[in-house]
Each structure stands twice: as structure tokens, then as C-alpha cells.
């Protein structure tokens, strides 16, 4: 297999040695739903700035960012692509993200690397599910945002109506910074000039007035000056408040382009260079020092002379070039001989093969500073979300974790070829290290290895990588559903463990009380023993016995959750009491209590959003009901489509993708996310219990 990272010659205008500072850097992540045109937009920007001679074509497989064979086959981005260009003396790092729901996590994972999230919207289809989810993710990271409406020259689009829809969905802070004209053949600036030619909707004067009013609202003195002098403010007067408005999400500029024809591309480059924040102007990265609840926020400055701090936001395991760690420098500098620590590691590694990425090309560079996005090769200990630093002062620095969707789709897998078990384990570990939404689980009760992702396509792509990159073939089947067990009422349990074998015996007696917790609260263990009736050294053994039941289940073999256990009494023997005795007593006392506490089996319930033509509404509703689902609402979309929201048990979605395609002629799509756990119907609980009892026999 040929490595997709085999780099050809260096593209034009990609420098090996930066001669700019942090003020000259712009970091932009292009995010949004599939078919919004993000990859084509990157091609247009690269061609307009001379990085490539002409834009590549997705259908021909010639784009910079979609270089993988699977991306060329599917005609969609399946992973993140990184490149850059220069305009007006500014270096613009561009991160192209996949828009298919199955690869949402890969898009979210790059957000810590940028100051600005550019939400790209298809003018024909409007706001779609991934658009909204990426908006929420960017908002959660406190990123500056802009909206790019693409395909403005498409037949039948109503850009005025779409702008109103954007403002209804995302807020009135979303304001056009330019406007389309001549049916989407031109774009006219509305920020730097107070008036202009006729536009396809609104007017330059109205848009200019609204965006200036929005900007000056963040600076009281400037607003007073603006109102008093009743004349235009100079661009240099507006720059600082414009950046402040972006940081505070008081302004989200909307701009219009057609990446296919190049309309609006020069204007977009002008906005990126002159108005989008550089690292000092953006909101600071969310670093903390310490672990868990004790972690405290720390300030990081884009100072090239400070201690080096960089964050690894992506890792690639290349079979020919080894592990590649892609990182964003937040502070200090990195050169070819820098010694860097990974997290709290005591031993540093020397930076070799430092490079800038241009799609699948790695262009060697000599150094990088604050704002730069670079890669380092052949460092086996590097991992996603690692913090790289050059001083032990930052040993316990972390970037606040990203919140990615929970991978719910699963496949149980076994190697086709006997003897490939270790090879499969190693390959799965590498895939898991790359993908924030890929999980590998071992279900001991069912003796299953389960790979989980965000959708069927996600898992199919990973299976192809297993076969083609790691040369491991696997057999697959639907996995066991991740049921859970809990209790519904308070109960008490007791057990005396006494064993005499001729020598020293075993003795431990435990009284405990259990009560249900709120959903999602997990497990709480309370030591309420007084008077030393159970010596303190044996309390952890009691908890160990309880946790064994929590893991193995007490009803049908599924893990237990949302339970508080309080140990309040017991007895011990000065000679025969041992850890194993109290572990056994704790386990059986807990089982005794669970039997009295009306235990139930819980199943995962997911939120589902289905997007399809409105003519399929009846079939979709009936099918969802047959899967024990319920519809919570629907929303009319453009082009005769409808979005249906609801909830459904995860167990009911087996085979849903093929059924959805059948009902919608291949046009329907859906996304899911975990909502909560709730009790299964009594009939299903009996089936699960009976199956468990048969397996025990």
C-alpha cells in the first residue's frame, strides 16, 4: 500500500522559514454540513493566492485536502485536511473539516487549534444538522465565528430568506459584511464603504449601518463619538472594537461566495486578512494547571520569548513515516533542535522533521512561533491532546478537553484468521489513538470485542483501514446492546461469611443499605460504621465486593449504576477476619439488598434527527413508532424537505440506515446522540433475564 503522505514537490508560496509574527497569522477552521462546499472553497482560496495553479476537482480526485483513496471514492471529506496560504502579508492556516455526521468528532477535535470557526452554509439547502452542531461546539470553545454562505449563484436560492433563517437560528448578531449582486455574480463590501451598487437583497447602506452600530456598541466612548459626530468612523477606529465584538460573540459576520466560480473569493480573503482575529486578538486558549477538580485556569500569551507551549490536536499513524503529531503553538518557539516534554514525562525528545502541512505534503520548516500549526514525525510517545513544553514548570498543564459526541454505533468483531488477535489489538489501538469518536470495548459478559463509532459509514471506513493499512480482516456481527441495571427503591442487605477449614478460618459480617440515585449519578459508597464494629482496614474490601457486583450485574449480567451504598454495621473476628472475608460478605450483602430493591434493566435512549423529503413523513413516523420511538417535533426545511426530531431506544435502530434509504429513495439522512437511560418494558426485561439465566446454566 502506497502511503497517502508520500509528499511530492513543495507547492508555490509555502515558506520553509516563517518571516512573520503572531500578529500576521490567521487560523481558520472551515466547518459545516456535507456538500456545503468547504473543500472546494479551500481550492478557490489556494488558487486565488497562487499556492496552486488552478483549483482541484472533487470528482476528479485532485483537491489538496481530499487526498485519501477512500475520500476520492466517496467524493466526501472523511478526515481533516490542513493547508495554508498568504494574502496581504498575512499567513492564513486553513483546516478543512468533514461534514458528514459520522465524522463530526474529527471536525470538533481541531477547534482548539484555531481562533476562528468559519461556518460554511450551502445556499441551496440552508442550515443543516451538522451546521448547528458545529456552531454549538465552536460556541462551547469560545471561538470567534463567521458565516460563509457558499453556492450563492445556485438556481432558485433566496439569500435574503436564508439570512433571516440564519438570524432566527443563531441570533441577530449575525450580520452581512458584504452582499451579493447581479444574481450572485458579484459581491459588494458593506463594511469599509457606506454605500454602493444595488444588491440582490437589502442594500449596502442598510447593511453598513447595522454592522457599524453593532461594532460600536461594545465601546461606550466610541459609540458616543459616533452618535455625536454623525459621520463615518475611519476603519482604524473600528478595528479594535470589531475584534472585541468578535471575541464577545456580539458580532458574527456573514459573507457570500461561490467557490465554484470564484465570486466573493477576493472579498473573503480581504476579510480574513483585515478583520479576522490573529492569536493575540482572539480569545485565549483554555489552559488549566492541575488534575481533575483541582485544576485551575492559567493564562497563556502568544509570546515567542516565553516558555514553549503547544497542543497536539491530531495524530496520524502512517505505515511508512511512523507517527505524525500535528500541533498548534500557543507560546514560545519550536526549532529543529528544540527539546520538548510530552505532558509530565521526565525525558524530553528532540524535535526532528518539523514540517508544515499542505494536504498530504509535509514541507520541512526550520522553526515555528505562536499561532503556527506544524507537525513533528517519528515521536512514538506523542498522543492526541498532549501538551508539548520545554520546561518542567508546565508539566501539569492541560488544554480543557473537547466535548465530542458519544460513539453509539457498534460492531462486534473477531479476526478472520486465527492468530491475528494481537495484530488486531495493535491496529485497533492505533485507530483509537487517531479518532476522538472511536472506541474499542471488551464486553466480558458476552465475550465480545466491540468497535464503536458515530455511524455505519464511520465503521465501514475504519474496517477498510484495518484491511488495507494494517492487513487485518475481521468478521463482524451486531453487538450486544449496552444495557445497564439499577434499583428503584431503598432496601437493606445482610450477609455473614463464615468459613472454617481446619486452620485459620474466614469471618466477616456486613449490614448495608442501598438507595437509588438520580440518572447519571453513577455510584456512591458511604462508610457509616461507628464503634469499630468493622475495622477501618476492611472497609475497602467491603467496597471491593460491592463493586464486583456493580461490574457483573445482579439481574441480567449488565453493569449497575445510579446506586448509593451505605455500610452501617457488621461484625469481625480478631483472628479469622480477612480482606477476602469482608469482600465476600460485602458482595453477598449487596446482592441481598438488590433483590429487595425492585431492580430494573435500563436501555440507552438516543435523540434522533431525520432529514428527508416531506412526502416521506408518514412512512418515517410509522417506522419510528414501530421501533418504540416517539416524535417530539418537526421543522419544514428548504427544497421540500423536513427535519423530524424524536427519541428512540438504541436497540431499535438496528438496520435503520438501509430502511431509511429504502423509505426515502436514498435521500434521507439521520444523526443520533445519547439522551438518557430508561427502564425497558417488562417483557423485554424478562427476555433478558431468561437469556442470562440460561447462559449461567
Instruction: Return the pLDDT at 460.
Output: 94
Measured distance CA(96)–CA(79) in Å, rounded: 8
Residues of the chain with CATH 3.30.70.870: 409-480
Residues of the chain with CATH 3.30.230.10: 485-598
Q: Whole-angstrom distance between the N-terminal and C-terminal Cα of the chain? A: 48
pTM for this predicted structure: 0.83
Average pLDDT over residues 52-67: 95
379: DSSP letter: -
Q: What is the architecture, at CATH level 2, of domain 409-480?
A: 2-Layer Sandwich (3.30)
Per CATH, which fold does 299-399 belong to? Elongation Factor Tu (Ef-tu); domain 3 (2.40.30)
Residue 146 backbone dihedrals phi, psi, to 5 degrees: -140, 160
Average pLDDT, the chain: 91
- Per-residue model confidence as pLDDT tens digits over 547-603: 999 998 988 988 999 999 999 999 999 988 999 999 999 999 999 999 999 999 999
The SS3 assignment for 414 reads strand
Average pLDDT over residues 506-533: 94
Residues of the chain with CATH 3.30.70.240: 603-684
Instruction: Return the pLDDT at 2.
Output: 34
Instruction: Return the pLDDT at 12.
Output: 47
- Per-residue model confidence as pLDDT tens digits over 507-516: 999 999 999 9
Cell 482604524, located at residue: 236
Q: Looking at mean pLDDT, say which of 37-41, 393-397, 691-695 comes out highest.
A: 37-41
Beta bridge partners of 60: none
Instruction: Return the pLDDT at 647.
Output: 96
| Residues found in the chain | 697
Instruction: Return the pLDDT at 261.
Output: 96
pLDDT level of residue 637 (50, 70, 90 thresholds): confident
Candidate from 106-110, 185-189, 220-224, 601-605 with smallest mean pLDDT: 220-224
Quick check: 638 pLDDT over 80? no
pLDDT level of residue 17 (50, 70, 90 thresholds): very low
Residues of the chain with CATH 2.40.30.10: 299-399
β-pairing, 448-453 vs 322-331, is unpaired
Measured distance CA(19)–CA(91) in Å, rounded: 10
Quick check: 4 pLDDT over 70? no
Quick check: 6 pLDDT over 70? no
Contacts 24+ apart (CB under 8 A), 678-686: 678/519, 678/602, 678/603, 678/605, 679/600, 679/601, 679/602, 679/603, 680/483, 680/600, 680/601, 680/602, 680/603, 680/649, 681/628, 684/601, 684/603, 685/555, 685/556, 685/600, 685/601
Tell me if 439 sits within 8 A of 452, measured CB to CB.
Answer: yes
Instruction: Return the pLDDT at 696.
Output: 65
How many Å is the Cα radius of gyration of the chain? 29
What would the CATH number be for the domain defined by 485-598? 3.30.230.10
Measured distance CA(341)–CA(171) in Å, rounded: 43
Beta bridge partners of 493: 512
Instruction: Return the pLDDT at 502.
Output: 66
Rounded (10°) angle between helices 235-247 and 204-216: 70
Instruction: Return the pLDDT at 193.
Output: 85
Quick check: 223 pLDDT over 90? no
CA atoms within 13 A on the CB side of 666: 0
- Buried (b) or exposed (e) across 314-337, using 16+ Cβ within 10 A? bbbbbeebebbbbbbbbbbbbeee
Average pLDDT over residues 94-108: 96
Average pLDDT over residues 350-368: 93
Residue 62 backbone dihedrals phi, psi, to 5 degrees: -115, 15
Tell me if 321 sits within 8 A of 378, measured CB to CB.
Answer: yes
As assigned by CATH, the class of the 22-214+250-274 domain is: alpha beta
Instruction: Return the pLDDT at 421.
Output: 93
pLDDT level of residue 82 (50, 70, 90 thresholds): very high
- Buried (b) or exposed (e) across 228-241, using 16+ Cβ within 10 A? eeeeeeeeebbeeb
Measured distance CA(34)–CA(611) in Å, rounded: 13
Give me the percent of the chain exceeding a pLDDT of 70. Answer: 96
Candidate from 8-17, 88-97, 303-312, 366-375 with smallest mean pLDDT: 8-17
Quick check: 318 pLDDT over 90? no
pLDDT level of residue 231 (50, 70, 90 thresholds): low
Average pLDDT over residues 321-348: 93
Instruction: Return the pLDDT at 563.
Output: 97
Tell me if 513 sits within 8 A of 593, measured CB to CB.
Answer: yes
- Per-residue model confidence as pLDDT tens digits over 267-312: 999 999 999 999 999 999 999 999 888 889 999 999 999 999 999 9
Quick check: 11 pLDDT over 70? no
As assigned by CATH, the class of the 603-684 domain is: alpha beta
Cell 502511503, located at residue: 3
Average pLDDT over residues 22-42: 97
Q: Which residues contact 521 (CB under 8 A, 6 or more apart)?
A: 562
- Per-residue model confidence as pLDDT tens digits over 197-216: 899 999 999 999 999 999 99
Measured distance CA(473)–CA(148) in Å, rounded: 42
Average pLDDT over residues 425-454: 90
Average pLDDT over residues 341-357: 92
Tell me if 140 sits within 8 A of 113, measured CB to CB.
Answer: no
- 47 by Cβ neighbours in 10 Å (0-12 / 13-18 / 19+) ranks as middle
Instruction: Return the pLDDT at 499.
Output: 87
Instruction: Return the pLDDT at 5.
Output: 45
Tell me if 487 sits within 8 A of 516, measured CB to CB.
Answer: yes
**H/E segment holding residue 117:** strand 116-122
Give me the percent of the chain exceeding a pLDDT of 90. Answer: 77
Measured distance CA(186)–CA(261) in Å, rounded: 10
Amino acid at each position: 500500500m502506497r502511503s497517502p503522505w508520500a509528499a511530492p514537490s513543495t507547492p508555490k508560496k509555502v515558506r520553509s522559514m516563517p518571516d512573520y509574527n503572531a500578529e500576521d497569522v490567521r487560523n481558520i477552521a472551515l466547518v459545516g454540513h456535507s456538500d456545503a462546499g468547504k473543500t472546494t472553497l479551500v481550492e478557490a482560496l489556494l488558487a486565488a493566492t497562487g499556492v496552486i495553479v488552478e483549483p482541484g476537482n472533487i470528482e476528479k480526485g485532485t483537491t489538496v485536502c481530499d487526498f485519501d483513496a477512500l475520500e476520492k471514492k466517496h467524493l466526501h471529506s472523511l478526515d481533516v485536511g490542513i493547508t495554508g496560504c498568504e494574502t496581504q502579508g498575512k499567513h492564513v492556516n486553513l483546516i478543512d473539516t468533514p461534514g458528514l455526521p459520522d465524522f463530526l468528532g474529527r471536525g470538533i477535535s481541531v477547534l482548539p487549534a484555531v481562533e476562528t470557526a468559519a461556518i460554511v452554509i450551502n445556499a441551496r439547502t440552508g442550515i443543516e444538522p451538522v451546521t448547528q452542531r458545529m456552531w454549538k461546539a465552536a460556541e462551547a470553545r469560545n471561538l470567534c465565528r463567521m458565516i460563509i454562505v457558499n453556492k450563492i449563484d445556485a438556481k432558485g436560492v433566496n439569500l435574503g430568506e436564508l439570512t433571516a433563517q440564519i438570524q432566527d437560528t443563531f441570533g441577530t448578531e449575525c450580520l452581512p459584511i458584504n452582499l451579493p449582486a447581479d444574481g450572485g455574480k458579484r459581491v459588494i463590501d458593506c463594511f469599509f464603504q457606506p454605500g454602493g451598487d444595488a444588491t440582490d437583497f437589502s442594500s449596502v447602506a442598510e447593511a453598513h449601518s447595522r454592522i457599524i452600530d453593532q461594532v460600536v456598541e461594545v465601546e461606550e466612548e466610541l459609540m458616543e463619538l459616533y452618535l455625536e459626530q454623525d459621520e463615518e468612523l475611519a476603519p482604524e477606529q473600528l478595528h479594535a472594537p470589531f475584534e472585541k465584538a468578535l471575541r464577545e460573540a456580539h458580532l458574527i459576520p456573514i459573507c457570500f461566495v461561490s467557490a465554484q466560480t470564484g465570486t466573493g473569493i477576493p472579498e473573503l480573503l480581504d476579510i480574513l486578512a483585515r478583520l479576522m482575529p490573529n492569536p493575540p486578538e482572539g480569545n485565549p486558549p483554555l489552559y488549566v494547571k492541575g488534575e481533575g477538580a483541582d485544576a485551575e485556569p492559567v493564562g497563556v500569551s502568544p509570546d515567542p520569548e516565553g516558555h514553549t507551549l503547544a497542543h497536539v490536536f491530531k495524530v496520524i499513524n502512517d505505515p511508512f513515516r511512523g507517527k505524525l503529531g500535528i500541533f498548534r503553538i500557543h507560546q514560545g518557539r519550536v526549532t529543529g533542535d528544540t527539546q520538548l516534554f510530552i505532558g509530565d514525562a521526565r525525558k524530553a525528545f528532540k524535535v526532528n522533521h518539523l514540517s508544515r502541512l499542505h494536504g498530504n505534503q509535509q514541507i520541512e520548516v526550520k522553526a515555528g512561533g505562536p499561532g503556527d500549526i506544524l507537525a513533528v514525525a517519528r515521536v512514538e510517545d506523542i498522543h492526541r491532546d498532549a501538551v508539548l513544553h520545554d520546561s518542567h514548570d508546565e508539566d501539569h498543564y492541560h488544554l480543557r478537553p473537547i466535548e465530542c459526541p458519544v460513539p453509539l454505533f457498534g460492531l462486534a468483531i473477531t479476526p478472520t484468521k486465527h492468530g491475528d488477535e494481537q495484530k488486531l489489538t495493535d491496529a485497533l489501538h492505533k485507530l483509537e489513538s487517531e479518532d476522538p469518536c472511536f472506541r474499542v470495548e471488551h464486553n466480558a459478559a458476552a465475550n465480545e470485542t466491540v468497535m464503536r463509532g458515530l455511524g455505519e459509514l464511520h465503521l465501514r471506513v475504519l474496517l477498510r483501514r484495518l484491511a488495507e493499512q494494517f492487513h487485518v480482516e475481521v468478521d463482524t456481527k451486531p453487538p450486544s446492546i449496552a444495557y445497564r441495571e439499577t434499583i428503584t427503591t431503598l432496601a437493606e442487605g445482610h450477609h455473614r461469611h463464615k468459613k472454617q477449614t481446619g486452620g485459620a478460618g474466614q469471618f466477616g459480617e456486613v449490614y448495608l443499605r442501598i438507595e437509588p440515585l438520580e440518572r447519571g449519578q453513577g455510584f456512591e459508597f458511604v462508610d457509616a460504621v461507628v464503634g469499630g464494629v468493622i475495622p477501618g482496614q476492611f472497609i475497602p474490601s467491603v467496597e471491593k465486593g460491592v463493586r464486583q457486583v456493580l461490574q457483573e450485574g445482579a439481574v441480567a449480567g449488565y453493569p449497575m449504576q445510579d446506586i448509593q451504598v451505605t455500610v452501617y454495621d457488621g461484625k469481625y473476628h480478631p483472628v479469622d477476619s480477612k480482606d477476602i472475608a469482608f469482600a465476600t460478605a460485602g458482595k453477598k450483602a449487596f446482592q441481598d439488598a438488590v433483590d429487595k430493591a425492585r431492580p430494573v434493566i435500563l436501555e440507552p435512549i438516543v435523540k434522533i434527527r431525520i432529514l428527508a423529503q416531506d412526502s416521506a413523513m408518514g412512512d418515517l413516523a410509522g417506522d419510528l413508532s414501530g421501533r418504540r420511538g416517539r416524535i417530539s417535533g418537526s421543522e419544514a426545511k428548504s427544497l421540500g424537505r423536513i427535519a423530524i426530531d424524536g427519541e428512540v431506544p438504541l436497540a431499535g435502530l438496528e438496520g435503520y440506515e438501509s430502511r431509511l434509504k429504502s423509505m426515502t429513495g436514498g435521500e434521507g439522512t439521520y444523526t443520533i446522540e445519547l439522551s438518557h437511560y430508561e427502564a425497558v418494558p417488562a417483557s423485554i426485561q424478562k427476555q433478558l433475564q431468561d437469556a442470562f439465566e440460561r447462559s449461567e446454566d
